Chains A and B, each alone.
Chain A
Amino acid sequence: MRNGTAGTEPVPANYPAIRHRTQAETCGRKGDRMKMTKRHSRKYRKITGIALCAAMAAGLLAGCGGTGTENSGNTGAPGGESGVPGAAAESGASSSSGGAAAAGEGTAKDSVVVVMGPTSEPESGFDPAYGWGAGEHVHEPLIQSTLTVTTADLEIAYDLATDMKVSEDGLTWTVDIRDGVAFTDGEPLTAEDVAFTYNTLRDTSSVNDFTMLKEAVAVDGDTVEFHMNRPYSIWPYTMAIVGIVPEHAYGPDYGQHPVGSGRYMLKQWDKGQQVILEANPDYYGEAPKMKQVTILFMEEDAAFAAVMAGQADLAYTAASYGDLTVDGYNLLAFETVDNRGFNLPAIPAGSTDENGVPLGNDFTCDVNVRRAINLAIDREEMIQNVLNGYGTAAYSICDKMPWYNEAAQVTYDPEQAARLLDEAGWVMGANGIREKDGAKAEFTLMYSAGDSVRQALSEDTANQLRELGIDVTVEGVGWDVAYDRAQSTPMLWGWGAHTPMELYNIYHTAPGGTYAQYSPYFNETVDQYMDEALASSSLEESYELWKKAQWDGETGVTADGDIPWIWLVNIDHLYWSREGLKVAEQKLHPHGHGWSIVNNVDQWSWE
């Protein structure tokens, strides 16, 4: 091409750099041409830029689209090509919804796609030492098996154990272990593995209290002895959440590559997206009906979108979605002990703990104030308004558990509440807020910022208590400051676990401390009952003592007692469930709207 035509000819964007140079060389001497070339070379550069951008954008789009389609194919195919190394790696990059789409459509009726919240993904993997199954949110570990299990009514039954004895002084537990159980790598599960598991957890567990265990000893191949530092009658409840790990295959990366003897094996884990579990073909118990369980981690709104798109078989949801309907899906509601309640510091303000954290609250330290607040809460109204009807009234941290004392139950009685406050000297002031000696009846109620259900419960509490003449200010706080501030300011919490230790954690004086751990409170009698309950030699006997710790007829932590915590509601766990999926009967879910639902996924089926 000659210089003369260079300016007018449309230039293919691919060769601008070369062309520029040629032009500069060939028409360098002529001023006007020079100008033209310069102008045009600028234009070329611009065109090049645009072309490059377009190419990059196209590349990106193509890349994304390509991997997307490819992967949904990979993940979805029943049986799974993940045996091929490439496939597994690639689907790691797939969007979880893409993977879900194909899996959901799968014709095979022995797989299920479950959606949980992003916080349900175990951060440190599937290692019981770092909270898998045994953390803040308890559930059955699925990949590992446990010595005991909790039954539908939250009593204890056996899994790996065949027999269990405790010595008179409560300091030695002897557990016989089932024969013929093997880990999924073929090695047999022995008493050594059990002892190793417990000793490891005692030394390394970051989330569980194992201070009561001195040592676990394998007496012979199928008997293990637990030597305790102090009597701990509810040890079987601990045994129900500790998955047994193999001594020979345990290491720092066990959480990423767990080997267990449970109903399922970890087949694939794409962090931040999904976990795929596959049935253990050599499981010693009844063979799982669901051969493959895919668990996706999504935010609430994304989970709902996945349901609307038909990409999930079962997806968690919240009460605020309860008035919607989705074709082809049912809304399942499971009762829980996932309670919400707030603490009322039971000592006057003024003191601090050893770290300088202020303790106590001058308004809530009055027991009549606390009793009045408890009576003035209309729990049914709260359930209808805040939870759209999906909840049950809560009167304790352990409603409906075998160790729950029904004396905790109260009926909504605003008149009696007002009388209590009047008697205590809190009389109605001018603007509808009660006063006593110039002090106003007011407190701040904190909730963890970002949790809309807790926010709404707090606001509703504030509305209800305002009618009683108490001015409640609601404040959202982060967990970084919540624990310290709750020592002097009421805070809305969520609790609920399948162990009486919850009672101990909330009401018993903290080990080495003066008051209970989360909110200053102290009652010697209550402490004593709980200590006795832990020291008792049978579970049945301990249940009675746990009940007495709540209310023994004279003192306790319930409505007529010290009532240092007000319990509001148990929140139903809601799920969208594809029509035809039969979810097996659930035991009362504990706190944490996550793995509990798949506790018995092996018994689910399609019809």
Chain B
Amino acid sequence: MKIRNRRQRMAVLMAVSLFLLVLVTAAGWAFGETASATDFSRKNLAPCLSYPFGTDFMGRDMLLRTVAGLSSSIRLGILTAAVSAVIAFILGLAAAVLGKAADGVISGMIDLVMGIPHILLLILISYACGKGFWGVVVGISLTHWTSLARLIRGEVLQLKESNYVKIAARLGHGKLKVAFFHMTPHLLPQLVTGLVLMFPHAILHEASITFLGFGLPPEEPAIGIILSESMKYLVMGKWWLALFPGLLLAGVVLLFHFLGEGLLLLLDPENAHR
């Protein structure tokens, strides 16, 4: 296929990104059990043909562990980004539609959450929820909705002034009906793009909170766990414990970034002529 323009190039890049991400997720899902299997007869091996990423102090295969970790990160990222996006959408819409009081309260909430450093709030929430998978999910979901909510709110405020919305209101449609039937279709591109661009944040924050010991439990294959464990062994020269998982984490984040940028390009009407 001959690639003619930027939109097509982007589409191909997105397809490749999506394929790789699905592959990693599925592989991690399939090998989840074997990833945590310990075998002390093969501990501390440097990367070799049978263990391309080496093994750790309990003889776990680092390739499998890394893939399983990324897979759980991706699943967690999708879940939390989706929840965040829904929160952002509802609050953003509500702030713009339900009048001044609601707007004040919601804008205040946005400012409040944004005013506290993410990671701090994340640790507090995750710890209060008893850490573990759900602690991380609740923590990330409750901290990542703010900027998207603000974006949606601004968009809705603009839409409110447009003629077709005004006409719909004059025709006697209720506020909610206008919001859901007339405004939502216009907001979807922003929402979807925002959602996808939230993945990398969610994944990185999951990794960092787990790294700090407030996230996933230590026996779970998770990138944060792998990286924090590796810290102890770096001084012994076991570089492979941190290098490959770290690189792959960066890679996954980059793939999601491509996906989001691509969506932005394809969905934004402004770019349609390219």
Between-chain CB contacts (< 8 Å), 30 pairs: A300-B232, A301-B231, A301-B232, A301-B234, A301-B235, A305-B235, A320-B232, A320-B236, A321-B236, A324-B236, A385-B40, A385-B41, A386-B40, A449-B213, A449-B217, A450-B213, A450-B218, A452-B229, A452-B232, A455-B58, A456-B38, A456-B40, A456-B58, A460-B38, A463-B38, A463-B39, A463-B40, A474-B219, A475-B219, A476-B218
* B244 at interface by CB-CB < 8 Å: no
Q: Which residues of A contact B231 (CB under 8 A)?
A: 301
Give the one of B58, B213, B231 with max A CB within 10 A. B58
User: Interface on chain B toward A: helix, strand, loop, or mixed SS?
Assistant: loop
A320-B235 contact, Cβ under 8 Å, with A386-B40, A450-B218: no
Please tell me if A304 contacts chain B, counting CB pairs below 8 Å: yes
Given contacts A449-B218, A450-B218, A476-B219, contact A320 B40 (CB under 8 A): no
A 436-495 contacts with B by CB, 8 A: 449-450, 452, 455-456, 459-460, 462-463, 474-476
In the bound complex, how far is the Cα of B217 from the Cα of A600, in angstroms?
A: 41
- B235 touching A455 by the CB < 8 A rule? no
0/1 string, A81-108, CB within 8 A of B gives 1: 0000000000000000000000000000
Chain A 296-339 interface 0/1 with B at a Cβ cutoff of 8 Å (1 = within): 00001100110000000000000011001000000000000000
Query: Besides the contacts A449-B217, A459-B58, what 17 more A-B pairs have beta carbons closer than 8 Å?
Result: A304-B235, A304-B236, A305-B235, A320-B57, A320-B233, A320-B236, A385-B41, A385-B43, A449-B213, A450-B213, A452-B57, A455-B58, A455-B218, A456-B38, A456-B40, A456-B58, A476-B218
CA distance in complex: A300, B43 (Å) = 20
Determine the distance from Cα of A460 to Cα of B38 in the docked complex, in whole angstroms: 8
Q: Which of B43, B217, B219 has the most CB of A within 10 A?
A: B219
**A321 CA / B233 CA spacing, docked (Å):** 9
List A residues at the B interface (Cβ < 8 Å): 300-301, 304-305, 320-321, 324, 385-386, 449-450, 452, 455-456, 459-460, 462-463, 474-476
Query: Looking across the interface, which residue of chain A has its beta carbon closest to that of B57?
Result: A320
CA gap between A449 and B235 in the complex, in Å: 21
Query: Using Cβ atoms and an 8 Å threshold, which residues of chain B touch A321?
Result: 236
Chain A residues with CB below 8 A from B57, complex form: 320, 452, 456
Which chain A residue lies CB-closest to B130? A481
Q: How many A-B residue pairs have CB under 8 A?
A: 48
Given the complex of chains A and B, what is the CA–CA distance between A456 and B43 in angstroms?
11
A300 to B233, alpha carbons, bound, how many Å?
A: 10
Return the CB mask of B74-102 against A: 1 if under 8 Å, else 0.
00000000000000000000000000000
Contact with A along B31-73 (1 / 0, CB 8 A): 0000000111101000000000000011000000000000000
Identify the closest chain B residue to A453 (Cβ).
B57
Measured in the bound complex, the distance between the Cα atoms of B43 and A460 in whole Å is: 12
| Residues of A with C-beta under 8 A to B233 | 320
How many Å lie between the Cα of A455 and that of B40 in the bound state? 13
For B234, the closest partner residue in chain A by CB is A301
The residue that B40 contacts in the complex, of A305, A324, A460, with Cβ under 8 A, is: A460
- CA distance in complex: A385, B218 (Å): 21
Complex-state Cα separation, A573 to B58, whole angstroms = 20
Q: Give the CA-CA distance A456 to B57 in the complex, in Å.
A: 8
In the bound complex, residues from chain B placing their C-beta under 8 Å from that of A460 are 38, 40
Query: B210 to chain A: closest CB distance in Å?
Result: 12
**Inter-subunit contact B38/A459 (CB<8 Å):** yes
Task: Give CA–CA (A455, B220) in the complex, Å.
Answer: 12
State in angstroms the CA–CA spacing of A455 and B236 once bound together.
19
Write the nearest CB–CB distance from B41 to chain A, whole angstroms: 7
How many of chain B's residues touch chain A, expressed as a range?
10 to 19
A474 to B219, CA, bound (A): 7
In the complex, A475 Cα to B131 Cα: how many Å? 14
A392 to chain B, nearest CB (A): 18
A459 CB to nearest B CB, Å: 4
A463 / chain B contacts, CB cutoff of 8 Å: 38-40
Evaluate contact between B38 and A476: CB separation under 8 angstroms.
no
In the bound complex, CA of A385 to CA of B57 (Å): 10
Cα–Cα distance between A213 and B233 once the two chains are bound (Å): 48
The contact string, 1 if C-beta is below 8 Å from chain A, for chain B 119-150, is 00000000000000000000000000000000
Residue of A301, A324, A462 ringed by the most chain B CB atoms within 10 A: A301
Q: Which A residue sits closest to B41, measured CB to CB?
A: A385
Q: What A residues does B234 contact at CB under 8 A?
A: 301
Closest to B231 in A: A301
B220 to chain A, nearest CB (A): 9
Interchain CA distance A385-B40 in the complex, whole Å: 6
What residues of B have a CB within 8 angstroms of the CB of A450 in the complex? 213, 218
In Å, the complex CA distance between A333 and B232 comes to 21
Q: Considering the chains assembled together, what is the distance between the CA atoms of A65 and B232 in angstroms?
A: 27
Looking across the interface, which residue of chain A has its beta carbon closest to that of B233?
Answer: A320
Cα of A452 to Cα of B56 in the assembled complex, Å: 11
Chain B neighbourhood of A305, CB < 8 A: 235
Known: A301-B231, A385-B43. A476 touches B217 (CB 8 A): yes
Please give me the 4 A-B residue pairs with the lowest Cβ-Cβ distance, nearest first: A385-B40, A476-B218, A301-B235, A459-B38
Q: What CA separation (Å) do A369 and B205 show in the bound complex? A: 44
Q: Which residues of A contact B235 (CB under 8 A)?
A: 301, 304-305
The docked-state distance in angstroms from the alpha carbon of A321 to that of B236 is 7
Minimum distance in angstroms from A264 CB to a CB of chain B:
31
| A residues near B213, Cβ cutoff 8 Å | 449-450
Residues of B within 8 A of A475 (CB): 217, 219
| Closest residue on chain B to residue A301 by CB atoms | B235
Query: How many Å from the CB of A161 to the closest CB on chain B?
Result: 45
Question: Which partner residue on chain B sits nearest A300 by CB separation?
Answer: B232
Complex: A386 Cα to B38 Cα, angstroms: 11
- In angstroms, Cα B217 to Cα A386, docked, is 21
B39, B218, B231, B234: most-surrounded residue (chain A CB, <10 A):
B218
**Interchain nearest-CB distance for A476 vs B (Å):** 4
A391 to chain B, nearest CB (A): 14
CA distance A456 to B233 in the complex (A): 15
**A459–B37 Cα gap in the complex (Å)?**
9
Task: Name the distance in Å between B233's Cβ and chain A's nearest Cβ.
Answer: 8
Q: State the Cβ distance, A463 to closest chain B Cβ, in Å.
A: 6
A301 CA to B233 CA in the complex, in Å? 8
- The residue in A450, A459, A460 that gathers the most chain B C-beta atoms within 10 A of its C-beta is A459
Contacts of A385 in B (CB 8 A): 40-41, 43
Q: Complex: how many Å from CA A386 to CA B236?
A: 17
Complex CA gap A268/B38 in Å reads 46
Please report the C-alpha to C-alpha distance between residue A386 and residue B44 in the assembled complex, in whole angstroms: 11
Shortest distance from the beta carbon of B38 to any chain A beta carbon, whole Å: 4
**B218 partner residues in chain A, CB cutoff 8 A:** 449-450, 455, 476
A600 to chain B, nearest CB (A): 30
A324 to B236, CA, bound (A): 8
With a CB–CB cut-off of 8 A, which chain B residues contact A474?
219
Closest approach, in angstroms, between the C-beta of B185 and any C-beta of chain A? 43
User: How far in angstroms is the closest Cβ of chain A from B143?
Assistant: 23
Q: Tell me how far the C-beta of B75 lies from the nearest C-beta in chain A, rounded to whole angstroms.
A: 21
- Output the least CB separation between A266 and chain B (Å): 31
Interface string of B206-217 (1 = CB under 8 A from A): 000000010001
Please indicate the chain B residues that have their CB under 8 angstroms from the CB of A462 in the complex: 38
Nearest chain A CB to B256's CB is how many angstroms away? Answer: 29
In the complex the two chains form, what is the Cα distance from A567 to B57 in whole Å? Answer: 22
Residues of A within 8 Å of B38, CB to CB, are 456, 459-460, 462-463
Residue of B nearest to A302 (CB): B235
In the assembly, what is the distance between CA of A321 and CA of B44, in Å? Answer: 11
Give the complex CA separation of A320 and B40 in angstroms: 13
Could you say which residues of chain B place their CB within 8 Å of the CB of A452? 57, 229, 232
Distance between Cα atoms of A463 and B219 in the complex (Å): 15
Chain B 229-267, CB-CB to A under 8 Å as 1, else 0, gives 101111110000000000000000000000000000000
Instruction: Chain A residues near B43: list those with CB within 8 A.
Output: 385
Contacts of A456 in B (CB 8 A): 38, 40, 57-58
Give A385 to B41 CA distance when docked, in angstroms: 7
